[in-house]
Amino acid sequence: MNSFGMKLRFSTFGESHGKALGCLLDGVPAGLNIDEEYIQSELDRRKPGKSKFETARKEADKVEILSGVFEGKSTGTPIAMVIYNTNQKSKDYTNIKDVFRPGHADFTYFHKYGIRDYRGGGRSSARETAARVAAGAIAKLMLQELGITVLSGISEVAGIQAEDFNYEGAKKSVIYALDVNKEEAQKAAILKAKEAHDSVGGVSRVVIKGTPVGLGQPLYYKLDAVLADAMMGINAVKAVEIGDGVLSAKVHGSQNNDQIRANGFESNHSGGILGGISNGEDIVLNVYFKPTPSIFKEQHTVTTANEEVDFSLKGRHDPCVAIRGTVVCESMAALVIADMILLNMGSKMDGVIKYYK
């Protein structure tokens, strides 16, 4: 239940304020160059405390590989990676020990399990996503060998929408903004919310380039369905679109169909997926993040004994969880595509024969 993927299987462990968090990545083909610096650089993109648009919690997020790599190459055995927590301030959380934070998983974990590690949200904290980024980095290394790239950026903050999607530009922006012309307004919206002890929502846009035709296992491990699963499972995500998404439901078939010519599709309303299988076009996703539920404004809530209290949260929190979340979207997308690459091998009998000859 803490695992994802079928052939490239990814499992995570760890709590926000426990000793460590980490992951197991099982199914990486042997012989892949495992560039540890690249993995760390991916973690650095997600790590907290890099700017005023993020939480003040500082974590080095140093990843250590415990297994599965020998002399710089994957061996086909599971790759375990661990990240020790170093900047826990568990005391920050004593005031939430017996209180449910509105919008948070506190309430549901407590009722499901009858016990919860309340420090920083425990397992439900987005801190766990560091492990996803570590695994995603290895998936990206694998995809690189096949000419597949996964890119993303922030297309919308607090309703301010990008009109241009510049993925290279996004890499250089501290809020990973896709549209340089909207970046300042988006930043201002974040800071304004932060000053008001509040938070804002945002949207990540992900594009996957270079996928072969044929990825996705119908009918219940479809590429779009698994991407939706992967994205909706990221903390704070409340909606996922493939291609034109919501808009598709408003238009006519003649507008939405991507007509075909000998050199390819004339448009990409489908977002690169037909019948759950990649068609070779760019795969395009929009991922909608709610505003961080952890805000400092006073709110109504109850204690674990169901007593009503008016509660003001303390601690360190991201004012817009979508920002660092976009890196996690990329990681999950990379893991999904790498899994599908491996699963697709064996779809055709002649491919099987060729492989074993």
Cα separation, 312 vs 25, in Å, equals 39
Q: Give 56 or 246: the residue with its C-beta nearer to its own copies.
A: 246
CB-wise, 172 or 297, nearer to its own copies? 297
Q: Which of 41, 51, 58, 351 binds its own copies (CB under 8 A)?
A: 351
Q: Per CB under 8 A, which of residues 60..99 are in contact with its own copies? A: 64-68, 70, 73-80, 82
* Residues of span 128-167 touching its own copies by CB under 8 A: 128, 142, 145-146, 156, 158-159
Q: Which residue has the tokens 């091998």?
A: 345
The answer to whether residue 326 forms part of the interface with its own copies (CB under 8 A) is: no
Per CB under 8 A, which of residues 174..233 are in contact with its own copies?
193, 196, 198-203, 212-214, 216-222, 224-233
125 known member of a binding site: yes
Q: How far apart are CA 285 and CA 20, in angstroms?
A: 31
| Dist. CA 148–CA 200, nearest whole Å | 32
Q: Is 78 exposed, middle or buried (0-12, 13-18, 19+ CB in 10 A)?
A: middle
Residue number with CB closer to its own copies (37 or 219) = 219
- 1 contact partners, CB below 8 Å, separation of at least 6: none
Give residues 100-129 in contact with its own copies (rule: CB under 8 A).
Answer: 100, 102-105, 107-109, 111-117, 122-124, 128
Q: Which is nearer to its own copies, 5 or 48 (CB)?
A: 5
**Residue 261 marked in a binding site:** no
Give the three-class secondary structure for 240: strand
* Per CB under 8 A, 249 contacts its own copies: yes
Contacts of 133 by beta carbon, 8 Å cutoff, 6+ apart: 42, 43, 45, 46, 327, 328, 331
Specify the DSSP class assigned to residue 154.
Answer: E
Residue 284 interacts with its own copies (CB under 8 A)?
no
Binding-site residues, please?
Answer: 46, 52, 123-125, 235-236, 275, 290-294, 316
